[in-house]
Chains A and B, each alone.
Chain A
Amino acid sequence: MIATGLPNDDGYVVAAYLFFLALLLVYVVIMAVRLSRVERDLVELTRDE
């Protein structure tokens, strides 16, 4: 089942770990956007008061 002539394994290992990091990064960015939205809302509410 093992295929021959494949690219070096290093690339696959780097790709797998980089994908995991990218997934985490995307999640952190989404959370940061949400947090900034809440902050904006809070500023708006305190201004209204």
Chain B
Amino acid sequence: MRTLSILTVVTLVTAYALAFFYAPMDAVEGLRQKIFYLHVPLALVALGGFVAGGVLAIQHLRTRDRKWDLRSYVAIHMALIFGIGTLVTGSIWARAAWGHWWLWDEPLLVSFLIVFLLYACYQPLRFAIEDPERQARYASVFAIVAGVFVPINFAAVRFAQEHTHPRTLSSSHNLPGPAWLAFFVALAGMVLLYVTLCRYEIAAKNVRFAMRRLRRRLGEDVVAGRSAAPQ
């Protein structure tokens, strides 16, 4: 885990050094275009994390092994945090570029918000179900259905005719080579950050479970309180 953490820090520092000192200044957007190297990787990793949560949930339903439920939970939990980062940095960029914090007629913005709000229901859903077995099962079904919705939603938005928000991964969006390099290193750094934080979160949860087992073994009366997290 230490190697992964160091690799994450090195990749992110390299990415943002490339973004600020190597990638050329955008002729139209100027300095504010530098937000692109933060906002887009955050968004892509958040969406990827939601889909990963669904894939891990399929594994949980197939095997009934609770470790997959924990992984799915952590993947979605972390993607939600990245989602908050996406929405806030996107809003800041929108304000700088368009003079508005938010545009309700912009399909990409609204669709991301819908996906975010959909996943914001994931934790309350888990919390609403007391029985851990049922909680894990229902949460997995939710994660799979919502996970399928993410790419469909993404594709539908790309077919939208009118938009203000630029399409990042399209042939019409011509970035010069150094800018692409900085973007891909930033994306790799963000993926590494996501994986690192997920691993820390899973490790922390496993330590908590181990402590609870130890207390039980020592004869203590351990009552696990109601929680949205896997028990």
Contacts and interface: CB of A to CB of B under 8 A. Distances in A.
Given A2-B97, A2-B99, A38-B207, A19 B200 contact: no
A38 B208 contact: yes
B32 A48 contact: no
A49 B38 CA distance: 50
A25 B100 CA distance: 28
A2 B39 CA distance: 19
The size bracket of the interface on B is 20 to 34
Interface stretch (B82-90, B136-144, B170-178): B82-90
Interface string A1-37: 1110010011011011101100100010001001100
B84 A17 contact: no
Given A12-B35, A16-B39, A3 B98 contact: yes
Contacts of B200: 31
B85 A35 contact: no
A36 to B, nearest CB: 12
A31 B203 CA distance: 11
A16 B20 CA distance: 14
A19 to B, nearest CB: 5
Nearest to A42: B211
B214 A45 contact: yes
Contact of B92 (A3, A10, A16, A31): A16
A38 B209 CA distance: 11
B85 A12 contact: no
Contacts of A45: 211, 214-215, 218
Interface of B: 16, 30-32, 34-35, 38-39, 42, 81, 84-85, 88-89, 92-93, 95-100, 164, 197, 200, 204, 207-208, 211, 214-215, 218
